[in-house]
Structure formats: structure tokens, C-alpha cells
Chains A and B, each alone.
Chain A
Amino acid sequence: MKKSLLLVGLIAGVMTVNAEQKLVMDGSTTVGPIAKAFAEYYMRENPGVNITVSESGSGNGAKALLNGSCDIANLSRDLKDAEKAAMKEKGVEPCKHVVAFDALPVIVHPSNRVKGLTIDQVRDIYTGKITNWKEVGGSDRKIVVISRDTNSGTFETFMHLVMGEDAKIKESAEYTGSNGAVRQRVQMTKGAIGYAGLGFVDRSVKPLSINGIEPSADTVVDKTYPLARELYMFTKGTPAKGSLVEKFLDLMKTEKGEEIVEEIGFVPLGAK
């Protein structure tokens, strides 16, 4: 009897220790890599801390924060009014932390002759007004329009920055579930056009200049590149002094944190 009591006590003890040192993050696939790199670094520096990072999209991240299944929600867009209202209703006070800047490069296949587009041209391509690359100075090839799924913050940002209020993406546009999948589709498809976070653009795809400005750290920081955005981590209320959440979020203001952000391909806050 005594033994089993002791065992129960022990298990409870272990569980509380774990609970103290556990941090759960969920949300955007764009912010995910930053969160993961931060988590890796933080766990290496502080053994005994367990940080899990899920990437289920910004919408799911906000939902997870609301129903308490995560401590930090990674969002690649600001909270929507409906989400804010729902949080208010449940008594959750969201606290916004800017993690980094991101540009939304429009990418095409490396063999594409087109060097740049205007925002209006990008919009016309996505609404289906322009369907062939020769209409914008490329070779005679059908444009394959690729978009992120409606669940992603990248999609929301694209809609907000490029499409505006009324324009609709054409019916034949393809939807893919992650930034990596967009890059994968674009690098494989000669006529493709897509968009993804800056960190996902590598040599396998070609980023286009928008309104004559190349997407880069400099153009994002001086706000000349038109398709740029801030990336966020949301917490429930202002994190308490000395809590794990606060210590973790402080990391991004340090030099090491900015180094990590830059390494992944985003633009750190300090660059401003």
C-alpha cells in the first residue's frame, strides 16, 4: 500500500516537473522553421526543457492557442477580427510578438525568361486574365498557377497584398499544402508560378522582381519590396517574468537569435 502511494507520488512529481519544463508551439509552416531552430538551440542550452513545434497552418495555430493546446502560436499573419473576437469571448488576451520579417517572393521555373512582373500582372495571372507567359514577355507556354491552401497564413498574406478585396483566384489554380510543396511544384513545372516564404526560395526556383524590385533582406527592411510581411508568435497574455515562455521569446532579441533567423533565410528584427 505504502509502496503504491509512493509510486503515485513519484509519478505525480515527475509529471509536474515535466509540465514546468514543457513548451508547445503550433501554427504556420512559414514560422515553423524559425521556431524549430530556436527550440533546438534553446534545448541544447537548457537541458531538461522540452519544446515541441507543430506546423499545422496559421489558422490551426490560432485555434490551438484559443483552446489551450499550445503555449505559443506561430502566425504568418495578424489575428483576424473573428479570431480576436473568439479569444475575447473565451477570456484569452492574445499578446503579439514580432519574430522576423519575411518577403513573399513570386517564384517561377529557372528556365523562365521573364525577369519581373508588376503587382497588377501577378494579380491578372492569378485571376486568370493572363494565361500565357508570352503575354508578359516570356515564351509561348501556358501558365500553371500554384497557390497555398486557404488554411495558410501565406495565402492570407498573398490575398491581402496582391489580390485585394474583390479579386478571386481562378478556378483552375492548384492548391498545395506547404511552402516546400509550392517550391517542389514550381521547380518541376516549366510554366509554373507560385509564391512562398523568403526562407524557402533557393537556387532551384527563380524569384521575380515585383514592380522592379528584387526580394531581398535590404528591400524588405527598407520596405521597398511590396510583398513583405511581419511574422508573429502569439502568447496568451503578456508572458510572466521569468517564465519559460518569456525566456524563450527573449531569445529572438539576442544576437544569436537574429543569426538563426538570418540563417534560415528570413530577415531579423535587428536589420531594421
Chain B
Amino acid sequence: MQNKRSLEVILNDCNNVITLSSRDQMVRRLLSLLGRGVLFSITSVAALAVLAIIYFIAKDAIPFFQQVGLKEFFFTKSWYPTGEPAQFGAAAIFVGSFLITGAAVIIAVPPGVFAAFCMSDVLSFNVRQFMKPVIEMLAAIPSVVYGFFALVVLAPLLQNHGGSTLAMVWWILALPILLLGSYVAGDLLTPEKLSHTAVRACRIVITVVLMTLSLLLIRSVGTLLLGLEISSGVNALNASVILGVMALPTIVSVSEDALQAAGRELREGSYALGATRAETIIKVVLPASISGIFSAVLLGVMRALGETMVVWMASGNAAQVPKPWYNLLEPVRTLTATIAGDMGEADQMTGSAHYHVLFAMALCLLIFSFSCNLIGEWIVNRQRKRLRGE
């Protein structure tokens, strides 16, 4: 009985809708259009903001290239924007930016990806629920706090006990990794077409030889590091370490998502075929989620490249190419720090080339991050196609 009544109500409503006057219909259509329009414009604000930023940066960057030229900017390394005459060679600054970013990525990617594997495939659900927010909390620390830490804690440590600190870090990291590595390598290098005892003997010999070699390597590098004198604690290494820590939560979080997305079926299939956990991780989960990990790394790169406050405080801001170029123990200057540090003085009223050169740098940064983004998209797409079997 009740059902019948509610059905009637619905039918009535339907009738009402159907019997709308044409004026009401018009109003409804207009409202719907308006709603769509509002939603569309809200969505396009983000896209428009990007376009506007590109436009305004390019507008102020192009006068610099007209005044000074690409050649001086990219290929000379005398950075004296306030000198008489002013020189705008930014090669050293580009080198500084890439050096710090590269080192930060090298520092952050291996632990970040390992942590992601650990959380997705090794730790129990409860521990992971606890660990992930803790690691992501690293991203919540303001960058000036990181910078302060770099200046007050890390810089004196590197200056006063630089050699011993680096040697200690090297021992702690290299010893387990290289020993484990030689064990695994011994396993892999042993030829399989031998008799059982021969295989065992061969494996032991190879492993022992590799372990001895790596111990020697660890010791000699350790002694080398121990003897290092670091004259200034604010240098590329300091900034890279801090940037690496800052990029870590991004890399961990995004790669962990990618590993999760590989799916339970894949893992269970692998286990069902008799694979161990290590084999499952390396041979099944990693290939399936490699594109996600790659985008995590790219996001980390962009985080490190765009960071300003930390490099301004921790990198020393010396516009020089270190000798040799990969020497992380010398102060360097980055694009972001130059823009932040020089913007106050380089006003339009005090020397316009200095003002425009900062926009030229901003444009270059923008182009780098765009290309990173595009490469990331391309790789993800390609991977997706491959997984679909196209």
C-alpha cells in the first residue's frame, strides 16, 4: 500500500517535470549553463594562472636577452651584476643549481625508494599506518627551519669534524651495503652448470674475494675521508643533504602509492608461483610500478631544484664553479637563491639588466620544471600503454 503511494508521488513529480512550461525550461537550461560556466571558470583559473605566470616572466626575461645576449648568460661565469660594467655570466650559477639538485637526488632516491618498498611490502599494515604520516611530517617542516638547522648544526659539524663525520657516515652506509652486495653478487656470479659441491665452493670463493675487495675499498675511502679538511661548512654538500631530506617525503609517499597501485593480485600471483618476497619485489612489483617511482623521483628533483630558503642559507652563495666541478665541499650559488637574494636591489629603478636577468633565470627554472613534468608524463603514458599490451 505504502509502496503504491510513494510510486504515485514519484509519478506526480515526473508529471511536474514533464509539464514544465517552456519558460521554466529556459530558466533551468540557463541555470545549468551558468553552473557549468562557473565550474569551468574555477577549473580554468589554475590553467590561466600558469599561462599568466609564463607570460609575465617571459615578458620581463626577454629584454635581458635583447640587452645582454644568450652567450654571456649561458657560457661565461663572471657574475658581477652590480659591478661597473655589470657582468651577467650565469654558467657557474647553473652548475651550482644542477650540482646541488643532482647530489640531493642521489642522497634522497635510494633511501626513499627503499623506504617505500619497506612500507608497501615488508612492514605490517599497522606499522605502515603509523610510519607514513611520520615521514610525511617531514614535508610539513618550514624550509627556513631546515635552513636554520643547516646553518647552526650541520655547518659547524662539517667544519669542525667534517672528515670524521663523513668517514663515519661512509662506514655505516658502505659496510652493510657492500657486504650484502658481495653476498648477493657471489650468488649471482656462480655458474650454475657445476656439480653441487663445486657450486658451493665456487660461491664461497667468489663471495670471500668480493668481501675482501669491498673491505679494502671501504677502508681506503674511509681513510681518505678522515683526512679531509673542510674550510667552510656552508657548501654544496650541506645544502644537498638538507634538500635530500626535504625531498624524501615526496619520493617515499609517491613511490609508495605507486607500489601499492601495483595491486595485490600481482603479488599473490608471484607468491603462488613460488617466488620469494625479494624476488616478488624485484622482478614483479618493481617493473610494474617503475613509472610511478620515476615520477616520484622527478617530483623530488623539482622539489630540490625549486627550493630557495635552504640553499640561500646553506650553500654559501659563491658564484663559482667548484674545482673540480663535482667538488661538493665548496660553496656554490643556485638560481633560486640568486633570484631571492638579488630581487631587492635589482629593482627596475636601479639597473634594469640586473632586474631582467633574474626573470631570465626564473624562465630557465620554469622551463626545466616543465620539461621534467613533460618527460614524467611521457614515461607514465608509455608505461601505461605497455602494460595494456599495445
Whether chain B is bound by chain A comes out as yes
Chain A residues with CB below 8 A from B343, complex form: 151
The reply on A214 being an interface residue by CB < 8 A is no
Distance between A148 CB and nearest chain B CB, rounded to angstroms? 10
Q: Hey, what's the 0/1 contact readout for A149-167 against B, CB within 8 Å counting as 1?
A: 1110000000100000110
Q: A171 and B318 in contact (CB under 8 A), knowing A63-B344, A83-B349, A189-B159? A: yes
Cβ contact within 8 Å between A172 and B331: yes
Cβ contact within 8 Å between A172 and B330: yes
Q: Considering the complex, which residues of chain B in the window 228-280 have a beta carbon less than 8 Å from any beta carbon of chain A?
A: 231-234
Q: A165 and B84 in contact (CB under 8 A), knowing A173-B318, A189-B159? A: yes
Cβ contact within 8 Å between A185 and B341: no
> What is the number of residues of chain A that contact chain B, defined by CB distance less than 8 Å?
36
The reply on B316 being an interface residue by CB < 8 A is yes
Cβ contact within 8 Å between B234 and A185: yes
Distance between B338 CB and nearest chain A CB, rounded to angstroms? 10
Chain B residues with CB below 8 A from A171, complex form: 77-79, 92, 318-320
The reply on B312 being an interface residue by CB < 8 A is yes
Q: Considering the complex, which residues of chain A in the window 184-213 have a beta carbon less than 8 Å from any beta carbon of chain B?
A: 184-185, 188-192
The reply on A95 being an interface residue by CB < 8 A is no
Distance between A81 CB and nearest chain B CB, rounded to angstroms? 9
Chain A residues with CB below 8 A from B350, complex form: 59, 80, 82-83, 86
Cβ contact within 8 Å between A191 and B344: no
Chain A residues with CB below 8 A from B156, complex form: 188
Which one, A60, A86, A176, A184, contacts B344 given CB within 8 A? A60
Distance between B153 CB and nearest chain A CB, rounded to angstroms? 11
Cβ contact within 8 Å between B345 and A151: yes
Complex CA–CA separation, A188 to B348 (angstroms): 37
Q: Which of A83, A144, A192 has the most CB of B within 10 A?
A: A144
Q: Hey, what's the 0/1 contact readout for A167-181 against B, CB within 8 Å counting as 1?
A: 010011111110001
Cβ contact within 8 Å between B232 and A189: yes
Cβ contact within 8 Å between A151 and B349: no
Q: Which residue of B lies closest to A82 (CB)?
A: B350
Complex CA–CA separation, A149 to B340 (angstroms): 11
The reply on A85 being an interface residue by CB < 8 A is yes
Q: A82 and B349 in contact (CB under 8 A), knowing A56-B344, A188-B159, A189-B232? A: yes
Cβ contact within 8 Å between B233 and A189: yes
Cβ contact within 8 Å between A188 and B341: no
Complex CA–CA separation, A57 to B341 (angstroms): 10
Chain A residues with CB below 8 A from B83, complex form: 168
Chain A residues with CB below 8 A from B313, complex form: 177, 181
Chain B residues with CB below 8 A from A189, complex form: 159, 231-233
Complex CA–CA separation, A185 to B232 (angstroms): 9
Q: Which residue of B lies closest to A187 (CB)?
A: B156
Chain A residues with CB below 8 A from B341, complex form: 149-151, 175, 177
The reply on B116 being an interface residue by CB < 8 A is no
Distance between B165 CB and nearest chain A CB, rounded to angstroms? 15
The reply on A34 being an interface residue by CB < 8 A is no
Complex CA–CA separation, A184 to B82 (angstroms): 25
Q: A150 and B231 in contact (CB under 8 A), knowing A174-B331, A188-B155? A: no
Complex CA–CA separation, A181 to B344 (angstroms): 18
Distance between B18 CB and nearest chain A CB, rounded to angstroms? 44
9 contacts between A and B (CB under 8 A): A59-B347, A63-B344, A63-B349, A85-B349, A171-B77, A177-B341, A185-B151, A188-B155, A189-B233
Further pairs besides A144-B232, A174-B331: 8, Cβ < 8 Å? A57-B345, A63-B344, A85-B349, A150-B81, A168-B80, A168-B83, A171-B92, A188-B156
